[in-house]
Amino acid sequence: METIERIKEQISENTILLYMKGSPKLPSCGFSSQASQALMGCGEKFAYVDILQNPDIRAELPKYADWPTFPQLWVDGELVGGCDIIMEMYQQGELQTLITESAAKNSSAESSE
């Protein structure tokens, strides 16, 4: 599968997806650590992709997303942004609302199928 196709599939299959360096439990950079901590603080499950283990995604995603840095948070197929945006939204309570609403919307969609 082409890398871009894999990225599109990951984004479409995961309501809340964080592309990061490392994992939420063992982040490999400060920005990824902050972003995953903020997401965990929202209390919903989220998927992640460790770009250090996926150099092809690390190379292609910035072009696909038109966003040069990591981490990258995707919610409902849309790029939310990187660490600064995630932290700002978290501090203002916007991230919690976005994550909670998205998770609720998608869990009700799954149960009605």
For residue 29, say whether it is annotated as part of any ligand binding site: yes
**CA-wise closest residue to 86 among 24, 26, 2, 8:** 24
**CA-wise closest residue to 102 among 12, 16, 10, 7:** 16
For residue 45, say whether it is annotated as part of any ligand binding site: no
For residue 46, say whether it is annotated as part of any ligand binding site: no
For residue 84, say whether it is annotated as part of any ligand binding site: yes
For residue 6, say whether it is annotated as part of any ligand binding site: no
For residue 42, say whether it is annotated as part of any ligand binding site: no
Give how far Cα 30 sits from Cα of 4, 6, 75, 85, 86, Å.
Answer: 27, 26, 21, 15, 13
Binding-site residues, in ranges, read: 21, 29, 58, 70, 83-84
Binding site residue list for [2Fe-2S] cluster = 29
Binding positions for glutathione are: 21, 58, 70, 83-84
